[in-house]
Amino acid sequence: MNKFFNNNRYLPALLHILVWAVLFSLPYVLSSGQVFKLQMLVEHSWLPLTLYAVLFYLNYFVLVDRFLFKKKLVVFFGLNILFIAVFIWIRLLVREILPNDMPGPGRGDGNGPPVKFFIYFDGLSFIIPLIFSITLKIFERWIKTEDEKKEAVNAQLQSELEHLKYQLQPHFFFNSLNNIYSLVDISPERAKETILALSKLMRYLLYEANIEKVPLKKEVEFMQKYVELMQLRTAENTVIKANFGPLPDKAAIAPLLFIPLIENAFKHGVAATQHGEIRIAMHMEGNTVVFETRNNNLPKHGGDRSGSGIGLQNIKKRLQLIYPGAYSFNAGVEGDSFIAKLSIDI
């Protein structure tokens, strides 16, 4: 039953049927307790309602789309005047054919209203379904246009998100290859371990991170493996501390949002001849996930392109698209440390 009402193809038709059923049955309700005459019902209720319905649906299904929306106004209004004139003639003809005590053209002693009165009154009454059909059609067209605009915007956002995601993956892969390259001559065994670890990470990127949101715990597992991978390259004088606090089982988040911050921490917080410390932490504050990296600020020389800033630019754009108004992101130098803090309401 829910599927029936949620299906937009059936709901408008159901509403149309319901409205006309109410209109056609209304005379019974209003005449309750009075003497009921079938010919009066036909002449004063069913016939005009039938003609109103015909005029309404002629415009709703044919005339408005073919002529009004295409700005063929002369044809549109000319056809409507013609149909209204025919319907008025039908009503006048029925009034003359059906015997009735009610005053009307050609009835009684000639003291009733003139024919012009009925023509004027019927003409005004036919304008009502005409206006309703035009108004409803314009409203539906506006709704359709707005839906198409939303779909176009959503498609553009999805395309941009996919672009950003695929931009991040080669960047991540490039940085990892740099790590492996630096280990090949120094420690072939560690280089092999790094390649194996990288293959596991790439499997996550290819098969598990291609959805809108992933379980937060899986994303944390990925980050922990990536930190282990980066540790293989760091010197002994660099201390790495990673702390991921208790996380809810059902929490989900957009994939790969935190990796650029980790990359940036290793890029600027590691030096071969200087002591360094990298701190990575994540915890929950209510429904907000808080992620922070802290590292020594050791700027690279101009020729080092191991991290060109793509990652941080990428994360800012993705946050604006995925979590507009539901995040805060701050990154900058404090003393001799670089601190980045990202909070996201999930």
Over residues 270-300, the pLDDT tens digits come to: 766 677 788 999 998 888 999 999 988 776 5
Give the pLDDT band of residue 170 (cuts 50, 70, 90): low
- Residue 243 pairs in a beta bridge with 281
260, 262, 326, 242: which is closest to 288 by C-alpha?
Answer: 326
Mean pLDDT of 197-212: 75
Q: How many CB atoms lie within 10 A of CB 284?
A: 15
**How confident is the model at residue 135, as a pLDDT?**
93
What are the residue ranges of CATH 3.30.565.10 in the chain? 158-345
Q: Which two tokens stand for residue 103?
A: 């005053």
Give the pLDDT band of residue 100 (cuts 50, 70, 90): low
pLDDT in tens, 143-153: 888 887 777 66
Which of 131-135, 154-158, 173-177 has the least mean pLDDT? 154-158
Residue 165 vs residue 131, higher pLDDT: 131
Mean pLDDT of 8-28: 77
**How confident is the model at residue 40, as a pLDDT?**
67
148, 145, 146, 138: which is closest to 60 by C-alpha?
Answer: 138
**How confident is the model at residue 110, as a pLDDT?**
54
CA distances in angstroms from 193 to 57, 98, 101, listed in the order given = 73, 99, 103
Which run of H or of E encompasses 285? strand 276-285
**Of 52-66, 207-221, 250-264, where does the model show the most confidence?**
52-66
Mean pLDDT of 38-44: 66
Percent of the chain with pLDDT over 70: 73
Mean pLDDT of 224-237: 77
- Residue 278 pairs in a beta bridge with 240, 295
Residue 250 vs residue 329, higher pLDDT: 329
Q: Is 64 exposed, middle or buried (0-12, 13-18, 19+ CB in 10 A)?
A: buried
**How confident is the model at residue 74, as a pLDDT?**
93
> What is the CATH architecture of 158-345?
2-Layer Sandwich (3.30)
- Average pLDDT taken over every residue of the chain: 77
Query: Does residue 166 have a pLDDT over 60?
Result: no
Residue 272 CA from chain centroid, whole number: 49
CA distance 139 to 216: 43
Give the pLDDT band of residue 266 (cuts 50, 70, 90): confident
Query: Does residue 102 have a pLDDT over 60?
Result: no
**How confident is the model at residue 41, as a pLDDT?**
67
pTM for the whole structure:
0.53
Residue 6 vs residue 47, higher pLDDT: 47
Mean pLDDT of 183-210: 75
Q: Which two tokens stand for residue 338?
A: 């670089």
Q: 130 with 59: CB under 8 angstroms? A: yes
Mean pLDDT of 109-116: 63
**How confident is the model at residue 138, as a pLDDT?**
92
Residue 58 vs residue 10, higher pLDDT: 58
**How confident is the model at residue 169, as a pLDDT?**
59
pLDDT in tens, 55-94: 999 999 999 999 999 999 999 999 999 999 999 898 888 8
pLDDT in tens, 295-344: 887 765 544 444 445 667 778 888 888 888 899 998 888 888 888 999 99
**How confident is the model at residue 108, as a pLDDT?**
47
The SS3 of residue 344 is: strand
Q: How far apart are the first and last CA of the chain?
A: 33
The SS3 of residue 274 is: coil
Name the residue type at position 39.
Q
**How confident is the model at residue 250, as a pLDDT?**
83
Query: Does residue 228 have a pLDDT over 50?
Result: yes
Sheet of 327-334: strand order equals 238-244, 276-285, 288-296, 337-345, 327-334
